[in-house]
Amino acid sequence: MLGDLGFPDPGRPEAASEEPPARGRYIPVVTKFWIAVVATILWVTLSALISAPWVRELTPVVGVVLAYTIVTLVAYLPGAIVAFLGASLLLDRQPALKVRDPTTPISIVLAARNEEAGIDMTLRAAARARYAGPVTYVLADNGSTDRTVEIARATAEALGIDLVVVREPTPGKSHALNRALEGITTPYVITVDADTLLHADALRRLISRLESAPSDTVAVAGTVLVRNSRANLLTRVQEWDYYLGIAAVKRMQGLYQATLVAQGAFSVYVTTAVREIGGWPDAIGEDIVVTWRLMEYGNRVFFEPTAVAFTDAPLEVTHFLRQRARWARGMFEGISAVPPWKQTRPMTRFVAGIDLLIPFLDVGYVLVWLPGVVLALFGIPLIVSVWTLAVLPITLLMYGGLRTYQSRYVFGPLDLRVRKNRVGYLVFLLGYQVLCSTASLVGYAQHLAGTSRRWK
């Protein structure tokens, strides 16, 4: 069996179920947006009323300004973001795919550097993915010093597919992608990481979403899940992050047609649109910046939950922290390249603006929440008290709903299943954010200090 989330043999027949059934009366996206905004305002207002005694208790100890700062960082701000996310997910209804079996020619670009261990499986999964139209396979070799190119060519010959190999010695994934882009002749270009396996129906569903979307849609992000989740506890925890956390955020952003990251691991782009903005930028978060630039002039970027690929998550804490620091730094690069207020579509401006708040969440968690937990353990429940436990049932309820949705409407149609992983789920709920927020703060500091960039 391929992968660790029940990834099936790519040749296995697909389950009969297709799209989530239409539920309820149609509500325009703009209306859903305003409903979510109003729900968020009501939630924050209620939180302010309930937290008044907490503020009064803090004020004699730290002063009124710091009291409100603490409560804002650990209660109002995260509450507002979670409220908007939750309301949006409750309103989310994936539009039906108008185009079911697209035949538009596509190019799949695999950017690789020293990937001899996994390039064979990646090519085999891509070649066996069902798609009715012509597919061009491109290996963008970024100065590999191992047998990546040799193995890729041998695999392509064994599979009977034509593989175009382009070489780019300049280090950096963006350089390899842009070299490949020069030779792309198809209307759409799909990027796939060299350690990523496509589900049998990933290509069809990804292109179906693009061609079913409004004409100004220039990219669609697929779903990326963890395939090596049985390696150790860290990958077991990351399994839930990809399956629930990241997928939930992308669903919210996709609802408003403003998915902020069409990730390089598995996304499709309109070729001419990428060329018009100058290709992928020389940035550590090249996929983030290219997405923000694509949306800058009013274009839309969607998310397709059922276009699934599986990737390898970091095995070691050190590598995980570096990855998350890169992601945080990439977010800052996106904000610097195209500030949220420069986005043309109002909903895109709002969704992108949420990213301006994320660093404050990380600061609040690491510098306020965690010290508050330590104080509570020593019998000083000044910041974290028994009232904080009310967050747990709300968290469990939200993630429970997400698990049901993912199982029924994403994994169900694809004949996939999630294996039992209770320990990983518990750690994900209770301790995972410590690593994520700490790594993010490091990434922010690296960006602000202008330190040298690291891709690995």
Q: Is the pLDDT assigned to residue 176 strictly greater than 80?
A: yes
Under the banding of pLDDT at 50, 70 and 90, the label for residue 10 is very low
**Which pLDDT score is estimated for 9?**
43
The string of pLDDT tens digits covering residues 278-296 is: 999 999 899 999 999 999 9
Whether residue 452 is contained in a domain is answered as no
Q: Is the pLDDT assigned to residue 4 strictly greater than 70?
A: no
**Which pLDDT score is estimated for 391?**
64
Q: Is the pLDDT assigned to residue 16 strictly greater than 50?
A: no
Q: Which residue has the higher pLDDT, 346 or 419?
A: 346
The string of pLDDT tens digits covering residues 177-235 is: 999 999 999 999 999 999 999 999 999 999 999 999 999 999 999 999 999 989 999 99
Under the banding of pLDDT at 50, 70 and 90, the label for residue 388 is low
**Which pLDDT score is estimated for 378?**
87
Burial class (CB in 10 A: 0-12, 13-18, 19+), 134: exposed
CB atoms within 10 A of CB 448: 10
User: Can you give the CATH number for the domain in which 198 is found?
Assistant: 3.90.550.10
pLDDT (mean) for 370-384: 87
Whether residue 4 is contained in a domain is answered as no
pLDDT (mean) for 242-250: 94
**Which pLDDT score is estimated for 381?**
84
**Which pLDDT score is estimated for 268?**
98
Give the 3-state secondary structure of the chain. Answer: CCCCCCCCCCCCCCCCCCCCCCCCCCCCHHHHHHHHHHHHHHHHHHHHHHCHHHHHHHHHHHCHHHHHHHHHHHHHHHHHHHHHHHHHHHHCCCCCCCCCCCCCCEEEEEEECCCCCCHHHHHHHHHHCCCCCCEEEEEEECCCCCCHHHHHHHHHHHHCCCEEEEECCCCCHHHHHHHHHHCCCCCEEEEEECCEEECCCHHHHHHHHHHHCCCCEEEEEEEEEECCCCCCHHHHHHHHHHHHHHHHHHHHHHHCCECCCCCCCEEEEEHHHHHHCCCCCCCCCHHHHHHHHHHCCCCEEEEEEEEEEEECCCCCHHHHHHHHHHHHHHHHHHHHHCCHHHCCCHHHHHHHHHCCCHHHHHHHHHHHHHHHHHHHHCCCCCCCCHHHHHHHHHHHHHHHHHHHHHHHHHHCCCCCCCCCCHHHHHHHHHCHHHHHHHHHHHHHHHHHHCCCCCCC
**Which pLDDT score is estimated for 23?**
53
**Which pLDDT score is estimated for 26?**
81
Whether residue 166 is contained in a domain is answered as yes
Whether residue 395 is contained in a domain is answered as no
Q: Which residue has the higher pLDDT, 347 or 47?
A: 347
Question: What is the domain range of residue 313?
Answer: 106-331
**Which pLDDT score is estimated for 104?**
97
The string of pLDDT tens digits covering residues 18-70 is: 455 445 578 899 999 999 999 999 999 998 998 888 899 899 999 999 999 99
Whether residue 415 is contained in a domain is answered as no
pLDDT (mean) for 426-446: 93
Q: Is the pLDDT assigned to residue 451 strictly greater than 90?
A: no
Whether residue 253 is contained in a domain is answered as yes
CA 362/CA 376 separation, integer angstroms: 20
Q: Which residue has the higher pLDDT, 10 or 97?
A: 97
Average pLDDT, the chain: 90
Whether residue 397 is contained in a domain is answered as no
Under the banding of pLDDT at 50, 70 and 90, the label for residue 122 is very high
**Which pLDDT score is estimated for 7?**
44
pLDDT (mean) for 393-417: 84
Number of domains in the chain: 1
Alpha carbon distances (Å) from 278 to 61, 196, 249, 329 = 54, 26, 28, 21
CA 189/CA 444 separation, integer angstroms: 31
Question: What tokens appear for 134 in the block?
Answer: 């012509």
**Which pLDDT score is estimated for 51?**
87
